[in-house]
Amino acid sequence: MPTEEELFASIDALLEEPPQLPPPAERTRLREAAGITQARLAQALKASISAVKNYENGRSEPKSPRLEAYQRLLKGWAEKYPAAEPDSSRSGRWPADREREAQTEAGPGKPAPECAETPKTQPDSTQAPSEPEAAETAPTQAAPARTTGQPTRPGTRPASSRRHPAKNAARPAADPRYPHGALAVLDGDGSAYTVTGTALDCPATTVPELVEWTLNKTGIGAARLHKSGKDSDPLIVVTASAAARLGLPERLEDRRGLRLPEDHPVVEQITKARWQLTRRGFGPWARIYRKAQGRERQCVQLAILPWDALDERSWPGVADMHPSDIARALGIYAERVITPRGGAAVNGLELMTALRPPTRAVRDQQTGNWVSAHNPGSLGTEPMDPAPPEAREEHPLVHNSGWTGGYMAEEALRWTRPIETLTGDEVQMPYAIGLDLNTAFLAAAARLVVGLSAPDHFHTPAFNPKIPGTWLVDLSHVEIDPRLPSPFTQTGERPTGPAWYQTHTVAYAQELGYNVAPIEAYLRRETGAYLDPWHDRLKTAYVDTLADLGVTKDLTDAQFLQAMEQRKNGDPVLNAVLAAVKGTIKGGIGKLNEGPHHDSYRDGEPWPAMMRPTWRPDIRAAVIAKARVNMHRKMRNMATMTGRYPLAVLSDCVVYPAPTDHPMDMLPYAESGKIQPGAFRLGPTPGLAKLEGVQSMAWAVDLIEQGMNPASHIKGGNAVLDDGE
């Protein structure tokens, strides 16, 4: 028998061990039972939402003192919400009696626990581009589905009692084939929440059954965006509890390929039922289809939430919402932009193709039959090699040819003003104010003429600002005020010799009054405003969503600034849609020059993205060059009108010294009260400015002295340069 001293020593050793937390799944259960969201828990723990996600999926553990606080909270919840009997949750559904009990314990006024578990976040670059195999034929005409009226899952908030204004609800497309709109969100109890506010009763317990039910019973889908395009396939968003019900794992083990293995039971079920998967397999955005029979199209897309289908950057907070709110957010986006087919960047590229289909139907004059032909103004169906200076260094075209002529580097500005150029008056200013241009790349895409045909090579051509192309020009002789960045390089430093530039950059040098004499050029004979419909649709989506949040075009500048500040605390669904629209813009432009992703890639090998007709680095360069020139022109006009010069620039954000903490006190207003044309102007439309942040001038000077960019931090925290990638 051990002595008392030995027993006490053993107990003391246990007491000295760090607190032990319950298993990850139990942590999630306790939080949901208490009706607390991950965002609210993160706020209480003074942690990020992603950290809380990691605590609940077992990827990381909190450190002291957060560990002790978290353990205390979980212990308190465990006493209030003891675990249910083991057999009450085996089916993957949320039992009604357990929900009623949790609702009762939560007390009046507190939200009931939701079924969906919480997904992890994943950078958008992991989302695979959409595949062509499942997008070849005409749409299926689906029959209307049986509905259960408004969602009435026991213990949860029905769709009819949403807190969101009805005027902002997503509306289904005006097409009798799709009475329930573009998509539905499937929960673990079999409720499929649609964009119309109704819940369909889904009996499916396997993926093949879900696909059959979607195509034959729901009336889900969306009409084409162009008469020569294709209708959007129905989208089913699968919550964590629904994924468990369908036999899908909680997370993907293949973190590189992001897909289920070929021998997984779900993949085998799909194959056995004679359905097919696209080349990207069964991943976060899975497309399941059968080859067309005549004009009937059979294809369903699944978005798996626990596999990070909706990443936090593009869809902030959406994956944590109630399924009816997820349906509302995605439904508004589908109505205003496009039915999601992947991450924001994928959607941006898909929208370009949907609005400018590569082919159209024409009648053969000899046979009288309808045949497929090139659609004028589109990029066609085949990939096009870039000019050597437009390509990436690893591209087979330049790698295998031994090209040594240099590359075009049209990128967004990232510049900090030299400390020695600051004047005493500027340093004595009390504030530094950051202005951010709304969707600057979208504004640059407006009426932008780009090349549609292959490039032709010219020696010593005369410069023509109306011809899109890539020009080898020496702009080192152009004099720019040292208090402004050079508009010809990403760093804002003066070029040192000949370099390759896009047409807009060379035209700006000419606008400044300097002679330009191209040495070489790669120009395109066929041109067009390819991005115009893309710009128009996204501009409308952006402006309309801001208006729904109370930021309208008829506001005065002072009212606009106040409305933008209030917007941050507005409807989280609409704020998420706004973030998704902005992500679609920048991501779509970045996709035009997407590079290889795999670690095993070797220079000179082709990669998937460059095999798309929409892989067009020259178009991306045109957008960025125009956006950078637009920003520089505004800064030059500001200097002329006000004598103010910027402290730093980061893409579409510029920081100025200011006499007050209000941007209206530094902008050039005329006596009439209207802003003078040509400078920065406040407003909600693309290309106009909003307040990014305010700090002290001493703070900005200190950062500059440390070699840091104040525009990176003016908002508070660390900003990441987002130049369209």
Compute, in degrees rounded to 10, the torsion defined by CA atoms 207, 211, 214, 220.
110
CB-CB contact of 573 with 328 (8 Å): yes
Q: How far apart are CA 232 and CA 222, in angstroms?
A: 5
Whose structure tokens read 């941050």?
568
HSE value, Cβ hemisphere, 13 Å, CA-based, for 442: 28
Q: How far apart are CA 276 and CA 280, in angstroms?
A: 11
Domain boundaries, the chain: 18-106, 124-359, 388-412+447-527, 414-444+531-601+613-712
pTM above 0.85, yes or no: no
Which residues lie closer than 8 Å to 464 by C-beta, 6 or more apart? none
Share of the chain above pLDDT 70, in %: 83
Residue 37 structure tokens: 């969201």
Pick from 147-161, 262-276, 686-700, 708-722: least confident: 147-161
Banded model confidence at residue 573, pLDDT cuts 50, 70, 90:
very high
Pick from 43-47, 159-163, 188-192, 716-720: least confident: 159-163
Of 433, 435, 485, 483, residue with least CA distance to 697:
433
pLDDT at 72 (0 to 100) = 86
Q: Give yes or no for residue 671 having a pLDDT over 50.
A: yes
Banded model confidence at residue 154, pLDDT cuts 50, 70, 90:
very low
Of 169, 223, 174, 233, residue with least CA distance to 196:
169
**Distance set, CA 445 to CA 233, 529, 530, 673 (Å):** 28, 9, 9, 30
HSE value, Cβ hemisphere, 13 Å, CA-based, for 348: 29
Q: How far apart are CA 550 and CA 43, in angstroms?
A: 26
Whose structure tokens read 């960019």?
709
pLDDT tens string 523-536: 999 999 999 999 99
Average the pLDDT over 398-420 and give the result. 93
What is the DSSP track for 570-629?
Answer: S-HHHHHHHHHHHHHHHHHHHHTT-----TT--TTS--GGGGSTT--HHHHHHHHHHHHH
Average the pLDDT over 257-284 and give the result. 93
| Bridge partners for 459 per DSSP | 520
**CATH 3.30.43, applies to 18-106:** no
pLDDT tens string 200-233: 999 999 999 999 999 999 999 999 999 999 999 9
Q: How far apart are CA 38 and CA 53, in angstroms?
A: 7
Of 340, 338, 279, 337, residue with least CA distance to 304:
340
